[in-house]
Amino acid sequence: MKKIAKISEVRKYVKNMKQKGKTVGFVPTMGYLHEGHLSLVDVAKAHADVVVMSIFVNPTQFGPNEDFDSYPRNIERDESLAQRRGVDAIFYPEVLEMYPGNDLTWVTVDKITNVLCGAKREGHFKGVTTVVTKLFNIVQPDVAVFGQKDAQQAAVITQMVNDLNMPVKIKIAPIVREKDGLAMSSRNVRLSDDQRQKALVLSRSLFSIENGLKNGRPLLEMINEAKNEIILTDGVELEYLEARSYPGLEPAIDLNGSCLIAVAARVGDVRLIDNIIVIG
């Protein structure tokens, strides 16, 4: 596996691969890899000849009071995991390589970035869409894979790629969960054992809504029940639990078409998100 820190080097690597007739799959990550990320590698490998993974904790998608500094990092561990899963090249640039300091350009997606996480994390999606555009322009992949765990991010990236006619196919891979149901996240390592148990209320609430829907119970009633259960869980601070159309992210009243049920909460100082998509 190649380990590349420079933009010019990764461009050269990809150019070389393309000249050999190979297609390139891309998995952008912020590192501290878990099985969720590695499942994206599997999807990339299924759709492309070589897989480039980026590992870059992107400062522009963190707010001033968010956890950029405490976001977990361990490049040696990541390298070993990526290599074992069959990644062909890791691109892990320094912040100054990506942002030399005179940047004035942003890629923004209106409307669907103003709800859910976007309503709570000002500027977050602007940072995401801008860095993903930069990474796409650097790596020039044929296919890029994102996780359904960040459902809003998946919708925003798909919208951006379509609107700007970006020459890349987007694949969205399903959420990978721990055995007890907790959605995998690099931030999970920052939970204490007690917090880890309490965090299960998020996935449990989503599953119970999913089951209720199957049994014909009304969505809003179940959402209110789930909200109450989360609010009553000591040490868990609910940010939102909402049903919205997907990927349009309009407030969902009935269940015609795909419906996203998404939750965000703080467990201690760790912000967690989870979601399910149900088909009406």
Instruction: Please give the residue ranges that form the binding site for its own copies (CB under 8 A).
Output: 7, 11, 103-112, 129-130, 133-134, 137-138, 140, 159-160, 163-167
Report the Cα 138 to chain-centroid distance in Å.
20
Q: Least Å distance between CB 146 and its own copies?
A: 16
Burial of 23 (0-12, 13-18, 19+ CB in 10 A): middle
Distance of closest approach, residue 137 Cβ to its own copies, in angstroms: 4
Where b means 16+ CB within 10 Å and e means fewer, 215-228 reads: eeeebeebbeebbe
C-alpha distances in angstroms, 135 versus 20, 72, 140, 164?
Answer: 22, 21, 8, 15
Please say which residue, 138 or 173, places its beta carbon nearer to its own copies: 138
Q: Which residues contact 174 (CB under 8 A, 6 or more apart)?
A: 39, 148
Q: Which helix (H) or strand (E) holds 101?
A: none
Query: How far, in Å, CA of 180 to CA of 163, rounded?
Result: 39
Helix (H/G/I), strand (E/B), else coil: 199: coil
87 Cβ contact list (under 8 Å, min separation 6):
1, 27, 41, 51, 52, 53
Give the nearest distance from C-beta 6 to its own copies in angstroms: 12
| Of residues 50 and 199, the one with the C-beta less far from its own copies | 50
Task: Decide whether 134 or 149 has the Cβ nearer to its own copies.
Answer: 134
Asked if 251 and 244 count as a contact pair (C-beta separation under 8 A), the reply is: yes
Closest distance to its own copies from the beta carbon of 76 (Å): 27
Shorter beta-carbon distance to its own copies: residue 248 or 268: 248
- Asked if 34 is an active-site residue, the reply is no
Cis peptide before 247 (omega within 30 of 0): yes
> In the bound complex, what is the minimum distance in angstroms from residue 130's beta carbon to its own copies?
8
In the bound state with its own copies, the residue whose beta carbon lies nearer, of 135 and 209, is 135
Tell me the closest approach of the beta carbon of residue 203 to its own copies, in angstroms: 30
Q: 274, exposed or middle or buried, with CB in 10 Å at 0-12, 13-18, 19+?
A: buried
Catalytic residue among 34, 37, 47, 124: 37
Give the single-character DSSP code of 154.
Answer: H
Q: Which is nearer to its own copies, 163 or 180 (CB)?
A: 163
Kindly list the catalytic residues.
37
